[in-house]
Chains A and B, each alone.
Chain A
Amino acid sequence: MATATFRIWRGDASGGDFKTYTTEVESGMVVLDVVHRIQATQANDLAVRWNCKAGKCGSCSAEINGRPRLMCMTRLNELDLSQPVTVEPMHTFPRMKDLVTDVSWNYKVKTKIKKFAPRKPDAPDGTWRMAQADVDRVQEFRKCIECYLCQDVCHVLREHHMHDQFIGPRFLVYTAAMEMNPLDTADRIGDLRDSCGIGYCNITKCCTKVCPEEIKITDNAIIPLKERVVDEFYDPLQRIFKIFR
């Protein structure tokens, strides 16, 4: 059985450092398996948040060799085990203990986005009718597991800490899911420009690159929303067309 060395960040909100663990590894293991093995055999007090081990709950987000990833979806054969593998908590959120961060800021942001407001039901039984083609576009956004890796890698939040001015890619996807929904009647375009700060996104596509659900965050959510903001605020021709529509 082979061995591998892992450098895992240990500490809390007041500070911490990397500690080195060497452990046996087997083929087919993922990083979360290794963390669990270290927790079971060498560091019983190692804090790690996890749940499904299947890439669907979004709990085990961390930074592995500096890249935001789900620990349960990072197989060891993708990593260079001849070098120590670093595992640390997400940078964008306050650290609580070891690999666990406080992501509650995201929940607060979500409460401030205008809720889904469906039009009146299409049928007397209170149901709606939607074409599959229209459903398909917003369905992509429903794949989000809220792992917040996109929030973690977004440099507006990670480097510039503009949490009070920018909602981040996750909530732009959330807004796109409602804004592009054929049933929705609420208008969030003004909010997108002002309180949501969509103009801070400079389209580096880092969010798209780290999304474990492979949602095309930038191309299918953020840029289309930016274009809707342009329609509303920055395109004089569109305004003229609207008058004659």
Chain B
Amino acid sequence: MFTAPTELKSAYDVVIIGAGGHGLAAAYYLAREHGITNVAVLEKGYIGGGNTGRNTTIIRSNYLTPEGVKFYDASVHLWQDLSEDFDLNLFYSTRGHFTLAHTDSAVRTMRWRAEVNKHYGVESELVGPDFIKRSCPSIDISCNGHAPILGALYHAPGSIARHDAVAWGYGRGACQRGVEIHQQTAVTGIEVKGGKVVGVQTSRGHIATNKVLCAVAGSTPRLTDMVGIQTPIYIHPLQAMVSEPMKPWLDHIFVSGSLHIYISQSARGELVMGASLDPYELHSTRSTLDFTEGLSAHMLDMFPFLSNVKVNRQWGGMSDMTPDFAPIMGKTPVEGFYLDSGWGTWGFKATPVCGKTMAWTVANDSPHELITGFSLDRFRNYSLTGEKGAASVGH
């Protein structure tokens, strides 16, 4: 499935740092759509071992800003064809996605999102408690009396997918087209001369290149430091946990901002559960007990019958947050250094469209039209793309 190149070449047309879904997707589209195959993807760990393998696999396009909705909608359309593109079953499973509103202000935000979504042809609607109860009869609409559900944004195209397979599919497709993936290869420095990228220093030797795409999620600050550019990215841990498998009972994806939970049931029958970001900056993927305690308590408020369900495993990832909760994509003040970052907690769903638009951006040295709203200079220009209201849970 993957070819494992043994030697690093001395030069590549493009070096992509990070063999997660984003980096591999960019490599895949560079090769497939732009004929650029002299590409090295460098990965300090293993394929898909970062946030690609740590997220809760939810795919949706019910965002708040026009930029966001158009972008994620393009992603969803790519997702739908991806299994056939790859000849690989990604278990792309359309389950329907509820973002629950427990307060009247949340209801207002859901209406806002529904209206913006509909405007761009994305299937979203504001629904009431009756609709939610019909869709999931076992839910406690009153949430144990603590936070009665007043309504929800229902997004029928909301889906889940087998996250690891996404990285594998892109990796295989890229390899087949001549891209080299080098695992266990850490970038230790990026050479910049006269404001231009000229090379990359790695744990396995030096590479000459004029184009570097940085797609490393929580490690972004370490790489931007290497080229001396500043971003407003800050890193918070995000944790998740999974239960033992059980027979499927939960068809939909549920998200609650007030209770800080999201939950879906995987094809293996496990409940995949997440919560809000840890409230502190930290460059670590360690797990905490209070995460499982808080998340379990809120889960039982909404689904009391999960009391006996056992939690099998928990893990954490590093989220690269931005002040406006929108990503940072495209060119940077350093010529030849391209950023695909600021993905915070929402990067997985954007994997295909990110790969496609970043490949276009790198190939043409000009931002793809879908990502102009996400440029780094928006922070300088005070033209932010406010997606905080569409973040799945509280931040």
Q: Do A and B bind each other?
A: no
Q: Which residues does B use to contact A, with CB under 8 Å? A: none
Q: Which residues does A use to contact B, with CB under 8 Å? A: none
